[in-house]
Structure 1
Amino acid sequence: MQIKRAILPQVQEYLLPGKVVVLYGPRQVGKTTLAHNLIDFTKLKSRFINADELLYREALGSQDRQRLGEVLGDAELLVIDEAQRVSNIGLNLKILVDSFPHIRILATGSASFDLANKISEPLTGRKITFTLYPISYNEIQQEFGVLEARNQLERWLIWGGYPAIVTTENPDLRARLLGELVGSYLYRDILEMEGVRRSEKIVDLLRLLAFQIGQEVSHSELATSLALNRKTVERYLDLLEKVFVIFRVGGFSRNLRKEITKNTRYYFYDNGVRNSLIQNFNSLKLRNDMGLLWENFLMVERRKINQIAARSVNAYFWRTYDRKEIDYIEEYGGKLFGYEFKWGSGNIKQATRAEFLKAYPNAELMTINRDNFETFLSPVPRGE
């Protein structure tokens, strides 16, 4: 079974002559499958190239118009999978676009830091970027139906959304596949980089973060726990973000001196990866980290749905030094929207609500729980 990806129509829409669509995303998330689906969907005369193959990698890195033209042939759509493997890929794509203005190009890559550095400057004004995340709750709803998706909410919270995991029914096999994913794929881009040799420290770092979801993270404390210097920890965190294992959210402040802004919170792009790191796939009734799972799930699912809805937002958390806090703040359309995540009963504390709205009187605040989370994860924004 193959899950339909909601981003496909958007990618097709922006696949225009003279433009390069860059599709980022972690390994094993389905970029190659989406590229093949796009070829079928567009009906254009297409050429698919895997840049892991040396022959094509050398030709695509040649900066030679004639050799690039030979690679292109009579294709109208050129797909370059694992494009970060090609040396000077940005410059070579620029030559292709300038020399063959009729061509549409899709370049995929798992190592965003590498691909972005090679592409951004040469392709200024010529590229459009998308990120393919693990399968979203919205995509699961579309595939299995609203009732079945909600009925299996526990499964998505525990096992996450990697395609191979979503389509596997056997829990033992799911655990094994996630173990392979975490052990063999997620760190490969980092470990291939010169100067990164401490794979066990990266795993230890992620395990520490797995227990600090929704909390401000001290880089100094992480460094002490790992027996590393702070700069090394910060470098590892940056690399883990760039290969789509974790993402950071900063503090929000406009008015109050006592608001915390310098600290950072980290979340995982996938709950299943997080649970594999701590080797805990227990059912929800046996867990003491339900609040962490729920918050991480909602944070990353909101990130996915914002892209599906083509909604560009600034994302923060809000906390004061006297411990008033709101889990998630979005700045969108000139307004602030605050969300507090609750797995169980409860609401935003009255003192917190009063202080936040006093500072930001035009903001909206809302508690997200099991009764209304599907609205929060809908492509249609509130107020539209």
Structure 2
Amino acid sequence: MPIHRQILQSIKERMFRNKAILILGPRQVGKSTLCESLLKEIGVPWLYLNGDEADVRAELTDATSARLRNIIGEKKVLFIDEAQRIPGIGLTLKIIVDQIKDVQVIATGSSAFDLANLSNEPLTGRKFEFFLFPLSFGEMVKEHGLLGEKRMIEQRMIYGYYPDIVTQAGQEQELLKLLAGSYLYKDLLMLEQINKPVLLEKLLKALALQIGSEVNYHELGQIVSADKNTVEKYIDLLEKAYVVFRVSAFNRNVRTELKKGKKIYFYDCGIRNAILGNFNSMNTRTDVGALWENYFLVERMKFQAYRGVDAKLYFWRTTAQQEIDFIEESEGGIKAIECKWNSKSVVKFPKPFTDAYPDAELRFAHPGNFEKMIGFDD
């Protein structure tokens, strides 16, 4: 039995409302499995097409409404997997939404290179867009219970939450190495801009070593022997392939707040550790604090995304190096969050921050209160 995904109900509620449904996310996070589960629940005739196949791309590129009707036939749902591989996919989806109104189209994509970008203009007002992460703490609580999944936190920080990794115990390292290779490079190496795979590998290792630290494109360039602009371009592409994401500096009231800083985190700790080839246990690692930050941040992001919470995440630092791990800004106000692996750590929030933001909610996230801190008590 596939693991139940929290996002499934939200997608189900938006079916047959005369809009395309786009499901984005990294490769191998279970987008196809999610769609198959959804379609089995709904119980209507559906057609599956895979954008990785050349004949599918040929049929759906520059397709007319007549051709699309012939392809779809009597089916009620058209499911296009890896739709970003199909040139002009946005216009094709628009034709289906506008002219074949009795058919629900669902498209999945493992990169933002085409599906998100090229579908934006044609599908304005014609789509529901969802993002599927690797499995979440909340989803695994449904499988193992709260106590059972909390006992697995160290395992998840080392091996991550990809479905194949979670469901095939004992094969984590082998599978992660395969996943980190094919998953990271399949979309990226299709791009003309990526003509130096060795540089990409060096950059990924440098980023993996710097999670939780502010990144400097010029310094990264020196590490990987590339210019600053190339580094920034490659990081942008890694972000669009859902390998990493950037967190910006928070600044509102304090003159000494950093205004242009960036930190970079990975969507999955297992992928990050596979890039470094480091699957050591937590009690022998020197990067536990950074891993805990990455793990906490992504689980908080998953919880909010699946609950439809609109919140922006930042870090905070001053020119005097006073800092707070995460700032979360939403309609409910500002939360300042410090992450420590050791629950007995003494946490003090910098006075310049508390003076400037007296109404901010101050929180301390550690493994003991993890479920509450990611949102179970919100």
TM (normalized to structure 1)?
0.95
Task: Indicate the residue corresponding to 1:135 in structure 2.
Answer: 135
Aligned residue for 1:113, secondary structure, equals: coil
Q: How does 1:257-272 map to 2 (within 5 A)?
A: 257-272=255-270
Identity percentage of aligned residues:
43
* Contact 1:137–1:377 (8 Å) recurs in 2: no
Shift in Å at residue 53 of structure 1?
2.5
Shift in Å at residue 355 of structure 1?
2.2
Quick check: 174-183 or 43-52, which moved more?
43-52
1:370 aligns with 2:376: no
Distance 2:5 2:285 in 1: 31
Corresponding pairs, count: 377
Task: Indicate the residue corresponding to 1:186 in structure 2.
Answer: 184
Aligned residue for 1:186, secondary structure, equals: helix
Aligned residue for 1:225, secondary structure, equals: helix
Distance 2:236 2:69 in 1: 37
Task: Indicate the residue corresponding to 1:61 in structure 2.
Answer: 61
Change (3 A) 1:87 1:380: farther
Change (3 A) 1:66 1:298: same
Task: Indicate the residue corresponding to 1:349 in structure 2.
Answer: 348
* Contact 1:76–1:104 (8 Å) recurs in 2: yes
Aligned-residue CA RMSD (Å): 1.3
Distance 1:327 1:195 in 2: 33
CA shift digits 1:83-107 (9 cap, x unpaired): 1121111111111111112221110
AA in 2 matched with 1:361: P
Give unmatched runs, 5+ long, in structure 1.
none
TM (normalized to structure 2)?
0.97
Distance 2:113 2:359 in 1: 38
Shift in Å at residue 55 of structure 1?
2.8
Shift in Å at residue 144 of structure 1?
1.1
* Contact 1:15–1:106 (8 Å) recurs in 2: no
Task: Indicate the residue corresponding to 2:33 in structure 1.
Answer: 33
1:328 aligns with 2:310: no
AA in 1 matched with 2:293: E
Aligned residue for 2:368, secondary structure, equals: coil
Distance 2:268 2:205 in 1: 14
Distance 2:9 2:377 in 1: 17
Task: Indicate the residue corresponding to 1:318 in structure 2.
Answer: 316
Distance 2:208 2:334 in 1: 28
* Contact 1:165–1:174 (8 Å) recurs in 2: yes
1:87 aligns with 2:87: yes
* Contact 1:306–1:379 (8 Å) recurs in 2: no
CA shift digits 1:252-307 (9 cap, x unpaired): 01111100120100000001011111111111111111101100100111111111
AA in 1 matched with 2:347: I
AA in 2 matched with 1:56: V
Task: Indicate the residue corresponding to 2:112 in structure 1.
Answer: 112
Aligned residue for 2:22, secondary structure, equals: strand
* Contact 2:250–2:316 (8 Å) recurs in 1: yes
Distance 1:2 1:98 in 2: 34
CA shift digits 1:180-216 (9 cap, x unpaired): 1111222211111113121111111111111211111
* Contact 1:157–1:271 (8 Å) recurs in 2: yes
Given candidates 184, 190, 194, the residue that maps to 1:196 is: 194
Aligned residue for 1:6, secondary structure, equals: coil
Aligned residue for 1:112, secondary structure, equals: coil
Aligned residue for 2:48, secondary structure, equals: strand
Distance 2:377 2:132 in 1: 20
Given candidates 185, 191, 203, the residue that maps to 1:205 is: 203
* Contact 1:220–1:230 (8 Å) recurs in 2: yes
Distance 2:196 2:3 in 1: 36
* Contact 1:17–1:103 (8 Å) recurs in 2: no
Change (3 A) 1:61 1:26: same
Task: Indicate the residue corresponding to 1:359 in structure 2.
Answer: 356
Show structure 1 runs of 4+ deviating over 6 A.
none
* Contact 1:204–1:226 (8 Å) recurs in 2: yes
CA shift digits 1:120-179 (9 cap, x unpaired): 000000011111111111111111111111112211111000001001111xx2111111
AA in 1 matched with 2:190: E
Distance 1:177 1:334 in 2: 41
Aligned residue for 2:328, secondary structure, equals: strand
* Contact 1:165–1:177 (8 Å) recurs in 2: yes
Shift in Å at residue 380 of structure 1?
5.2
